[in-house]
Structure 1
Amino acid sequence: MNLVLLSNTASLEAMNALTFFIGNLSKDLLSLPVIYIASQPDSKRVYFTPIKTMYQQLGFKQVDYIELEDGFQANASTLLEKAGLIHLSGGDTYRFLNGLKQRGIDKQLRCLAEEGTVIVGVSAGAMIMTPSIDSAILCGDQNTVGLTDTRGLHLVSFLMVPHVSDPISNLSEIETFKLQSDNELLLCKDTDAVVINGNKQQTFGTPIWLK
């Protein structure tokens, strides 16, 4: 699989990770569209526009936006099939996963990832790429949408906690959570990133692994 998991995009480490990752992929990738999936409606494109600019700076010519709620595009599935890279945005993790499941896009993303489509997840988007989003509670998310199935895309074997402070402010809470989980737990500061290219995994910054 071709995956990037980020805590935040506004760091040198994040840009280094993306630049390194994209540089090791086919140059033809840049001619394909990036599809940005919004975690919730962004009518003024406040969150989308900086990400669009970022991908354009990385060499992509086309960056398109889709959302999962009232503004859902009927051709979203087709757009995703044609994507060279799919960006899962940050935001409310429970709301985001709930929207993906209601639209059936979670299953499509899993298939596309297995076929080699590049998927970049940021914060909530990164947690959705893991076996479950249960770790979202550790960064303050609350299940206000009543999501009962918290299973993620399971593109990686570990769970993730983004936006971890340094030093870690809620370490006891994190350790308690880990005792109840069989999965490794990846703790990422906003300057950390993990890149997976096939069977190779590389970290940027200084993420912490709790086994």
Structure 2
Amino acid sequence: MKFLLTSAGIKNDSIRHALVDLLGKPIAESSALCIPTAGYGHPMGSPGGAWRFITGQSSTPMCELGWKSLGVLELTALPSINEERWVPWVREADVLLVNGGDALYLCHWMRQSGLADLLPELPDTVWVGLSAGSMVMAPCIGEDFVGWKPPEGFDRTLGLVDFAIFPHLDHPSLPDNSLANAEKWAAGVGVPAYAIDDQTAIVVRGGAVEVVSEGHWKQFTP
């Protein structure tokens, strides 16, 4: 699997060009599934937020980019559906567009649904994460970002990349997301980490990591 891990979606031309490069073809020729699940686990999540994400009426561009086709994959529904039905939907998609919200809630339902087990079998599929949709790929999220608490009771996530992510760096509406707080967070996660603002994304392909940015970011080493 290839990853485009963003803080706030496809916010600028640099991130858009990185997406097209990962796809290997134009967006207009690519099929997408969007995953709104993480939003339902966040205290600020709502049905309206999921609708805005899916219909492309949010401030985090993902679904409105002009895809050849776009469908909705709701992970909480998958355990009640035979894998023979939904696994082909995922395999046939070029890209998975994953909404923000609560990373641990998303991680829980990725595991419960079976999607987490399927991802290593999708080498050509692009995972585009937005905030929690990016953080879920890290080994952990850190105590600062624990909201919804999984039955397992810890902050571990999928570990499909070997670094953690602090999103929305210096966002004017999120005063706690300062660089000083990011440094404290990074000291506690115990793995390499990146703090990224909403104009920044991290590309992971074949084990190589590249930061694409028209904003600012900082890398931390444990």
The interval holding the TM-score normalised by the smaller chain is: 0.7 to 0.9
Q: Is the 8 A contact 1:66 1:73 kept in 2?
A: no
Which consecutive residues of structure 2, in runs of 5 or more, have no partner in the other structure? 41-46, 57-61
What is the CA–CA distance in structure 2 between the aligned matches of 1:108 and 1:173, rounded to whole Å?
35
Q: Which runs of 4+ in 1 moved over 6 A?
A: none
Residue 88 (structure 2) pairs with residue 65 (structure 1): no
2:64 to 53, 56, 59: 53
How do residues 24-173 of structure 1 correspond to structure 2 at under 5 angstroms?
Answer: 25-27=23-25, 31-39=29-37, 40=39, 42=47, 45-50=51-56, 51-54=62-65, 56=66, 60-70=67-77, 74=81, 75-112=85-122, 115-132=123-140, 134-135=141-142, 137-138=143-144, 140-148=145-153, 150-165=155-170, 169=176, 170-171=178-179, 173=181
* Structure 1 residues not aligned, in runs of 5+: none
Q: Per-residue displacement from partner, 1:83-135 (whole Å, max 9, x unpaired)?
A: 111112111212111111111211112332xx231111110010011122x33
Q: Which amino acid aligns with 2:218?
A: I
**How many residues are matched?**
200
In structure 2, what is the equivalent of residue 179 of structure 1? Answer: 187
Amino acid at match of 1:62: S
TM-fit CA distance, 1:177:
3.5
Q: Report what 1:208 is aligned to.
A: 218
Pick which of 69-78 and 197-206 moved more.
69-78
RMSD, aligned α-carbons: 2.9
Same amino acid, percent of matched pairs: 22
Please give the alpha-carbon distance, in whole angstroms, between the structure 2 residues aligned to 1:16 and 1:73. Answer: 39
Q: Output the amino acid matched with 2:8.
A: N
Instruction: Measure, in 1, the Cα distance between the counterparts of 2:21 and 2:182.
Output: 35
- Cα distance in structure 2, aligned partners of 1:203 and 1:27: 19
- Distance in 2 between residues matched to 1:73 and 1:165, nearest whole Å: 41
After superposition, the Cα gap between the structure-2 partners of 1:25 and 1:157, relative to the gap in structure 1 and judged at 3 Å, is: same
TM-score normalised by length of structure 2: 0.75
* One-letter identity of the residue aligned with 2:212: T
The counterpart of 1:21, out of the listed 6, 19, 22, is: 19
- Secondary structure class of the residue paired with 2:64: helix
Structure 1's 121 and 10: CA in aligned 2 closer, same or farther, altered over 3 A?
closer
Q: Secondary structure at the match of 1:27?
A: coil
TM-score, normalised via structure 1 length: 0.79
Name the CA shift for 1:62/1:73 in 2 (closer, same or farther; >3 Å): farther
**How far, CA to CA, are the matches of 1:179 and 1:162 in structure 2?**
16
Provide closer, same or farther for how the CA distance between residues 156 and 71 of structure 1 changes in structure 2, counting only shifts above 3 A. closer
Tell me whether 92-101 or 29-38 shows the greater mean CA deviation: 29-38
Cα separation, partners in 2 of 1:28 and 1:6, compared to 1, 3 Å: closer
CA distance in 2, matches of 1:36, 1:141: 24
